[in-house]
Structure 1
């Protein structure tokens, strides 16, 4: 009976979220209703809820989670500082005379914005507004144009510093501690946000490279779909303007990631450095004023409050789910799957991929990963490798029709002359590229684990 209640709890929460109810209140409210019913029927041990105050205090006292508002502030400030506009204009002049040059420019700028802002929705919308009208006007194939914009806009999911990796790092750290308790092992090895940042660096860069290779292949095989632009139309390359557009964001990215890689700063300290650097960059571009600062602070507060409210609701759900014996049920299911740990891993990745159609990455990170993470890690999977694989998987689900969030963002800024089916068609090659990267990372786990081992000796 208790295990059936655990399954019903998870199913009811998913249905409520699909119906559009607020995530944080759905997680907390449904969990409390089930806990109350469980106490009345004798299927739930109310003692589990006694841990809630400590959980809440731990959330508010978590130094790692301080990185969330700081990275969000950095991203929103850069978004409002015309960084994307300047970068795209300069890159278009540099690559525009090549077949597919505009699409390559979008990939490069998207990667730089991902490493600067890490906010998927803002990147997709900004790039769609700036680049799509130009690409369509210059004769670019609408499917490839929209596919490129949607795919590069989601790079902020995997290229550090990424909000996804910050949240996953905190969750995976707790999951790893629980897995050690299950195994009765207390090794000095830990997993942190910095580990995931370093582990995701090579896969993220490889993904950008694969995107560009695909665009080059299309430009060579089907040149009419990605025409070159005449130099006189673009105007001469202004190297001073190019350097002025590239150098500040590159310096900021190097300062944030470099301080983490070199061990001079924790991700939270690097986030503070990034927030300060974003303000200085806005000041340098003449975009920093009291109104701008107020708008950025307001946007940062909204996003941060949403994240922490969801985290509080997810903590309540986790306690109630365990009180019904849900964690033991998951362990039994995984133990009986054919293929052992590999079968369990593939099942979890499939479930996360499918849930990515209907849930945001925050819900999946706080609801699903705490349930399956300890079980998978107790089965011997590397925590850094598992965390980056989950992040790559979540990024793929952001693009997959019909519910991919990046597609909704792009649809909102795409002209009505471009049908939704064209957007869906355009992202399919990029989805296949991301699946290919998942396969490569699975077959060659060193792609994720090698750099952290070299830097941190883990």
Structure 2
């Protein structure tokens, strides 16, 4: 086999092992080291050891020389250097801080107050409970960035209230599942930090570029919820008189000030300090972590047990992301050294694709990968395969990253592998069937595709803020 063929075999074997259920990070590292040993193998030292045995050299010296030849492969130096590179990456330093902020906010008991306040404030809007649930999901998902936590918590809080208000089961579950995934798109998004580290794109420009597409998707969701509530009132009946209490204006302002405002100020402080150059993403993440702690203390929700859980979950998730990076860097380095990247580039060039056709092909592959894989694995492992091809088609990595972020919403919403549906099913009442949740996801899935189409047709939605603010 030629080296490029070995590289393609390496990629195919990795995909096969992933589908068998092997841990992805350690599979990447193992494949990188094994195939890297083949790629960088230099047998001269081992042959010299055998020759010294024939010359009646000392057994200890010969074995030592042989072992030195066996372990003196550049793949081990590469693996150590890649590990150090990940550990010293300043962009990735923000990941544990944002995660800690999210886990602390999740435990601050703010979501219950927020949902109640928004439900009362929007009671005159068609589908008021759905609107309140969607806004709460969007704000909470933006603050935490943890899809499973948002969907689970909102399923426990909002779903019983919506079912009690006679909302259609599919409609209610679709709102919660779709709203819970928005945190991986709307800044400050951990996914965008990971993409920035993988692609070398400015995280500040990525955050600025993701704002308007994020609001666009939220707006499309809102139009669908309100529009369907108007056109099909049976899916979201109006509240009965007295079902939602009338709250005086002054009391409403107090409720907003104590529920919506603190979380909104925290998000705006973190995001604003990054976008206006007042702090680096890492410094802003530290501000957010401190703000999350202060919120938990202010809401009398801070206990040692909750703090310990937050620290443990932060360390576990951060370790997963960092080891994925180590494995991915090692794997991709060996893959490129063997000529695999050149083979893929030549193959794509031979297809004679237009930029639109390339984007459609890339997004289709990412869409399909979203069924069996998490977003972190797609961003760290597979997206870097497309990045070297972007200059060939004149595609900006910033624009490509925002399309990927929109596309990855579908990985949580596409049956039969829609993880948000399984998160919700795990805590939903027994009468809520998985097929009903799947049915509720389909309209929101089409909203994502519509948002991607609008962003492609009007790319200034992505580029306007980065260019206006940073030139």
Q: Normalising by the residue count of structure 1, what TM-score does the alignment of the two structures yield? A: 0.91
Matches of 1:293 and 1:447 in 2, distance apart? 39
Residue in structure 1 matched with residue 416 of structure 2 by the alignment = 402
CA contact (8 A) 2:274 2:281 kept: yes
3-state SS, counterpart of residue 300 of structure 2: coil
The whole-number CA distance in structure 2 between the counterparts of 1:86 and 1:347 is 44
- What residue number does 1:21 align with? 22
Question: What is residue 34 of structure 2 aligned with on the other side?
Answer: 33
Farther off after superposition, 46-55 or 428-437: 46-55
Match for residue 215 of structure 1?
225
Q: Is 1:149 matched up with 2:176?
A: yes
Q: Where does residue 212 of structure 2 map in the other structure?
A: 202
Residue 377 and residue 110 in structure 1: after superposition, are their counterparts in 2 closer, same or farther (change >3 A)? Answer: farther
Offset at 1:19? 2.4
Pair 1:286-2:300 in alignment:
yes
Q: Which residue of 2 aligns with 1:353?
A: 367
Distance 2:421 2:343 in 1: 35
- 1:325 corresponds to which residue? 339
Kindly tell me: are residues 328 and 90 of structure 1, through their superposed partners in 2, closer, same or farther at Cα, counting changes over 3 Å? same
Out of 433, 444, 463, the position equivalent to 1:430 is: 444
- Which region of structure 1 is more displaced relative to structure 2, 308-317 or 153-162? 308-317
Alignment match, 2:103: 76
**Distance (Å, rounded) in 2 between the aligned partners of 1:141 and 1:377:** 47
* Deviation larger for 348-357 or 371-380: 371-380
Equivalent in the alignment of 1:264: 278
Q: For each residue in 1:174-195, what CA deviation from the matched residue of structure 2 results, as whole angstroms up to 9, or x when unmatched?
A: xxxxxxxxxxxxxxxxx31111
Greater mean deviation of Cα atoms: 288-297 or 146-155: 288-297
Match of 1:385 among 372, 376, 399: 399
Q: Is this contact kept in 2: 1:97–1:229, CA < 8 A? A: no
1:139 counterpart = 2:166: yes
Counterpart-to-counterpart distance in 2, 1:230 and 1:260:
45
Equivalent in 180, 190, 193 of residue 163 of structure 1: 190
What's the offset of the Cα at 1:446? 0.6
Offset of residue 8 of structure 1: 2.3
Indicate the RMSD between aligned Cα atoms, in angstroms. Answer: 1.8
Q: Give yes or no for contact 2:40–2:75 (8 Å, CA) kept in 1.
A: no
Give the whole-Å Cα distance in 1 for the aligned partners of 2:219 and 2:136.
13
Distance 1:144 1:169, change over 3 A: same
Larger Rg: 2
Alignment of 1:437-456 (within 5 A): 437-456=451-470
Check the 8 A contact 1:110/1:123 in 2, yes or no: yes
Q: What SS does the aligned partner of 2:408 have?
A: helix
Displacement of 1:398 after TM fit?
1.8
Distance 1:49 1:375, change over 3 A: farther
Aligned equivalents of 1:11, 1:140: Cα separation in 2: 47
Instruction: Compute the displacement of 1:313 (Å).
Output: 1.1
Supply the distance in 1 between the matched residues of 2:136 and 2:159 (Cα, whole angstroms).
14
Q: Output the CA distance in 2 between the equivalents of 1:81 and 1:112.
A: 14
Aligned residues: 437
Partner of 1:253: 267
- Structure 1 Cα separation of the partners of residues 429 and 316 of structure 2: 29
Q: CA deviation at 1:338?
A: 3.4
Q: What is the aligned partner in structure 2 of residue 9 from structure 1?
A: 10
- Assess, with a 3 A threshold, how the Cα gap between structure 1 residues 446 and 265 changes in structure 2: closer, same or farther: same
- How is 1:336-347 mapped onto 2 (pairs within 5 angstroms)? 336-347=350-361
Unaligned runs of 5+ in 1: 174-190
Does 2:425 align with 1:411? yes
Give, in angstroms, the shift of residue 39 of structure 1: 6.2
The answer on whether the counterparts of 1:345 and 1:376 sit within 8 Å (CA) in structure 2 is no
CA offset at residue 142 of structure 1? 0.7
User: Which moves more between the two structures, 335-344 or 115-124?
Assistant: 335-344
Distance in 1 of aligned mates of 2:30 and 2:355: 34
Secondary structure of 2:409's counterpart equals helix
Cα distance between partner residues in 1 of 2:458 and 2:389: 23
Q: CA deviation at 1:447?
A: 0.4
Partner Cα separation in structure 1 for residue 81 and residue 42 of structure 2? 26
Residue ranges of structure 2 left out of the alignment (5+ in a row): 44-72
Q: 2:141 aligns with which of 106, 110, 114?
A: 114
Match status 1:123 vs 2:150: yes
Q: Deviations over 1:72-96 (max 9, x none)?
A: 0000000000121111111112223
TM-score by length of 2: 0.89
What residue is the counterpart of 1:225 in the other structure?
235
Q: Does 1:64 align with 2:53?
A: no
- For the 8 Å contact 1:310–1:363, the answer to whether it is kept is yes
Equivalents in 2 of 1:128, 1:17: separation in Å? 31
SS of the aligned residue for 1:233 comes to coil
